[in-house]
Structure 1
């Protein structure tokens, strides 16, 4: 894989504990971030805590609560075992080998494999688009300006293509920009316009990428198409929400009506 920043999110430099002499703010923020992410899908676990790099009483108690849920001794200390359990969702998403008869199905299955891990952004230092998942998809970048939908899409394609020994950059440049990828599709003749798709939906196949068009050369959001049915694309998207926002906070499976929205489609056929 080319996009391997996720590996940095799976490790800390050493054991972290309340007022520990070996604590580092970077590692403590990671721990606090994962505790808060755990609380999003386990709201009764009482593991949400401030993300400030200070391992105090609140963080210690949040760690103990997490350890209780996981059946560990409640030490309040984050050693390798506890941190490995905290980060298990990301490890499963990025390292579990998807299967499929071809690249298209590999892309679809890889995208779907990220869903059970509940990738979600955090607000850190009053900055949205932050946290371990955003950094993993965006090669370490995070913050309000780092919209991460294309980072998610390219992470999925990279993971799937790498399983076949392929370099996704032969399809598109490595980028976080929908505009860059859309322009590349036009130059290569592999971007189908929404008007073409409405006339001939068979142009679109699972594994292709939709680009939400604001104007003919300006795209605001993207995602992986996992199925095409009637007037609908079934998708898996990053940086979205229940309302389909292009600056949401999660990876979600969605349905989009391509007859009601200007959805251009970037074909992956040249990489297949």
Structure 2
């Protein structure tokens, strides 16, 4: 009887570990699919508006016309079930996650679904955010909202960008 219980317990533990590993992978994949599907979203009039932009802003209790990079990140994470990241502001959003990179100090290699932040000295705070899609030796590929072809923090849509690591102040994860 004790031997059967030991086998049953081992089976349950192994199944639980396997499910956890799979859910971690599928959560990251789900986030990546959601932000990739948003590439091409554009503001209606160039004033932080439009159906999708307003959906992102409403998710974080903001009205049309507000900057929406953090709202896009929050909404995307929320669609995949990550509820602890919900803010229309970059500083608060960064603080809700676990920092895995800060100005050349790497705790863990960022992956798809982790969130980068850019610091603006003129604002004296982080003021733009988006998703890490790929982390390379000197640059990263991102998907970010409220940007443009030039990489502005006040853009007109969701774009895939290539940014130098030297531009990145911090990367946080919300997947733990």
The reply to whether residue 192 of structure 1 matches residue 135 of structure 2 is: no
More strand by share: 2
Residue among 129, 134, 138 paired with 1:222: 129
Alpha-carbon distance in structure 1 between the residues aligned to 2:27 and 2:51: 27
> Highest Rg: 1 or 2?
1
SS in 2 for 1:138: helix
C-alpha distance in 2, partners of 1:155/1:169?
Answer: 9
Instruction: Using structure 1 for the length normalisation, give the TM-score.
Output: 0.50
List 4+ stretches of structure 1 deviating above 6 A: none
The separation in 2 between residues aligned to 1:264 and 1:205, in whole angstroms, is: 13
Structure 1 gaps of 5+ residues are 1-99, 162-167
Count of matched residue positions in the alignment of Structure 1 and Structure 2: 149
After TM superposition, the structure 1 = structure 2 runs for residues 96-107 of structure 1, keeping only pairs within 5 Å, are 101-107=25-31
After superposition, the CA RMSD in angstroms is 2.3
Greater RCO (CA < 8 Å, at least 6 residues apart): 2
TM normalised by structure 2 equals 0.75
Q: SS where residue 83 of structure 2 aligns? A: helix
Counterpart among 53, 61, 68 of residue 134 in structure 1: 53
Task: Give, in angstroms, the shift of residue 262 of structure 1.
Answer: 3.2
What secondary structure sits across from 1:130 in the alignment?
A: coil
**TM-fit CA distance, 1:191:** 5.0
Q: 2:89 aligned with 1:212, yes or no?
A: no
